[in-house]
Structure 1
Amino acid sequence: MTATELKQRSLLGLKDLSEEEIMSILDRARYWEEQPEKVQPVIPGKFVANMFFENSTRTRFSFEVAEKRLGAEVLNFSAAVSSVQKGESIYDTVRTLESMGIDAGVIRLKPIGVLAELAEKIRIPLINAGDGNNEHPTQALLDLYTMQKQFGSLRGLTVSIVGDILHSRVARSNLYALKKFGANVRFCAPPNLEAAELDAPYVSFDEALRSDVVMMLRVQLERHEGGMIRSAEDYREHYGLTVERMAKVQPHAIVMHPAPINRGVEIDDELVEHPQSRIFTQMSNGVPVRMAVIERSVKG
């Protein structure tokens, strides 16, 4: 496989992907969603390794379901029960699996920058399942797919992303992709959780609620100890989507969330399955989107 082919089949992020490339993935996802048969073995004999060096439930299972629906042979790797615990480097682990003959790797990492370095050295397509606070491309793709199904077009939509922008790979991938389609992206965040390097305006929560899409981000409770968030209760009071605030959301608008959800913190429990919520729809849409991404990576 040439370096150009490898780059075309990998999915490291959406920042450098064209509108046409993104749309082709979304179109193929629609094809997969419309298939009546759950299993369509279009890539039999292809080995795909899910390499998760950071904990994940939804993303890992979503990829695994997608891979099995395509007829792939699936290897699941968890850092907690691997040689990484014994000091083996991430590179050595990925290189080992490559040497064993896998055809593609789905990878989630905590360290920033490691994925880009791996992509330069590894000669199989890599799919980014979340790297540090850099990008989470398949999450953004399923978000775009959800918005597109709801509104028909992304162009002109106003999307407000609310929460910890500073540490959010979801916010970054959505920003990069939505801007390519002419959507208006706005952020709303506590001042100490803003990301100044990202090109989007910050608005008040009341203004964010007047959007076509209100996307709530997970409150990273593990950061409380560092004092970045005073308390879960304080966060809910100022930046949580409460029942009272939901009354200000426009009737045509939708509420989204990448999950996992801290019920009663960033969103009130009774709003998770509100008629305007698309949270579980997003999870459902993740499977055909990831089918399209995996097929793109390994099909000759």
Structure 2
Amino acid sequence: MKHLLSIQDLSTGEIQQLLDNANNLLANKANMIDQGKTAALLFYEPSTRTKMSFEMACMKSGVNILSFMPETSSVTKGETLYDTVKTVEAIGVDFVVIRHEQEHYYDELTDIQIPIINAGDGTGEHPTQSLLDLLTIKQEFGQFEGLNIAICGDILHSRVARSNANVLSRLGANVQFVAKDEWRDERLPYQYVELDDAVEQADVLMLLRVQKERHNKSYEFDDYLSQYGLTVERERRMKPNSIIMHPAPINRGTEIDSRLVECDRSRIFKQMRNGVAIRQAIIQVYLNQGGYSYDIAY
């Protein structure tokens, strides 16, 4: 596989191998250093966790990073995404990580020969977030088959919801959505349930950030927590071994009560830790194999 653009690009076997590789990295059982390799991280949208975890993953793999900020680049002079990527390819980078506001931005990059890793395309997909979420769930439950997963929030605008629902269903989990009527995406083939039912049934309650930047600025979110968010009262009704997840950044007091962000069943910061390992595993596959392979030994 030349690029990682969608979680659908990966077979279930490839996904399981990446999860195993990431767990080995977390256990310090791997030491794969690619001295002299270089990555370009092209982030056209703001990012904290994804960008910094890719940077950390690169550093842990011995990969140099080319700095890029759209506001100080030739983007301000009208340079296209294609020409920017062709430029970094021409000057010798080994792979490129891209986050862009345009859904399916990669459709215009079919001539690019170096690997492209999608770090989020508009409201399209976020494959590396899905992989770190899968790693977190597997660490908790050991498998995916039969798990009840409730993905709750702004489904219509969420690339995380799309990627996760697809891959979790393929791996045998039962996926349901929770959303306000106007935030539903009827193009996705999943059942919608009420949050008060979901909190009692779910093994994994996956909350989504309310993407205020994608909504009318006059929209009021003051009552969102009580109506659609995870309150302390709702958390008390969750199953004993169920967990809370969130891709972050977190709107404390909107999609989740601030007191629950670091509660015993929260795995939010563990997801962030896992993000470095899964991205390091992805980077090492592409740099050492030029595409996916099972020949990685630890």
What TM-score comes out, normalization by structure 1 length?
Answer: 0.93
Matched with 1:181 is 171
Q: CA deviation at 1:41?
A: 5.0
* Alpha-carbon separation, structure 1, partners of 2:35 and 2:2: 18
Q: CA deviation at 1:234?
A: 2.2
Contact preservation (8 Å) 2:82, 2:108: no
Residues 87-133 of structure 1: CA deviation (Å, up to 9, x unaligned) = 11111111100000101001101011221321x12110000000011
How far apart, in 2, do the equivalents of 1:173 and 1:24 lie? Answer: 18
1:52-98 CA-partner distances (Å, limit 9, x unpaired): 11111110000000011011111131212211122111111111000
The one-letter code of the counterpart of 1:21 is E
1:29 aligns with 2:18: no
> Which residue does the alignment assign to 2:246?
257
Which residues of structure 2 form unaligned runs of 5+? 290-298
What is the correspondence of 1:108-187 to structure 2 with a 5 Å cutoff?
Answer: 108-118=99-109, 120-187=110-177
Aligned twin of 2:228: 239
Residue type matched to 1:192 in 2?
Answer: E
Q: Distance in 1 between matches of 2:83 and 2:5?
A: 19
Does structure 2 conserve the Cα–Cα contact (< 8 Å) formed by 1:41 and 1:72? Answer: no
For the 8 Å contact 2:157–2:214, the answer to whether it is kept is: no
Q: Which residue pairs with 1:266 in the alignment?
A: 255
Give RMSD over aligned pairs: 1.3
Paired with 2:139 and 2:212, the residues of 1 have a C-alpha distance of 32
Question: Alpha-carbon deviation of 1:22?
Answer: 0.9
The equivalent of 1:47 in structure 2 is: 38
Gaps (5+ residues) in structure 1?
Answer: 1-7
Report the alpha carbon displacement of residue 147 of structure 1 after superposing the two structures with TM.
0.3
SS in 1 for 2:191: coil
Q: Does 1:282 align with 2:271?
A: yes
In the alignment, the residues of structure 1 paired with residue 8 and residue 14 of structure 2 have an alpha-carbon distance, to the nearest angstrom, of: 12
Q: Is residue 205–residue 244 contact of structure 2 (8 Å, CA) maintained in 1?
A: yes
Q: Alpha-carbon deviations, 1:265-293, whole Å to 9, x = none?
A: 00011100000000000001111100011
Q: Does the 8 A contact of 1:216 with 1:255 survive in 2? A: yes
The residue aligned with 1:5 is none
**Per-residue deviation, 1:24:** 1.1
Select 1:88's aligned residue among 69, 75, 79. Answer: 79
* Matched position secondary structure for 1:166: helix
Aligned to 1:216: 207
Q: Per-residue CA shift, 1:207-248, capped at 9, x if unaligned?
A: 211200000000112234266xx4221221211111111111
Whether the aligned pair in 2 keeps the contact of 1:162 and 1:187 (CA below 8 Å) is yes
SS at 1:244 equivalent: helix
Distance 1:131 1:208 in 2: 29
- Equivalent AA in structure 1 for residue 65 of structure 2: V
Q: How many residues get paired? A: 288
Matched residue SS, 1:56: coil
| 2:124 partner SS | coil
Determine whether 1:299 maps to 2:288. yes
What is the distance in 1 between the residues matched to 2:281 and 2:143? 20
SS in 2 for 1:192: helix
Sequence identity of aligned pairs in percent? 49
TM-score (norm 2): 0.93
Contact 2:229 2:256 in 1 (8 A): yes
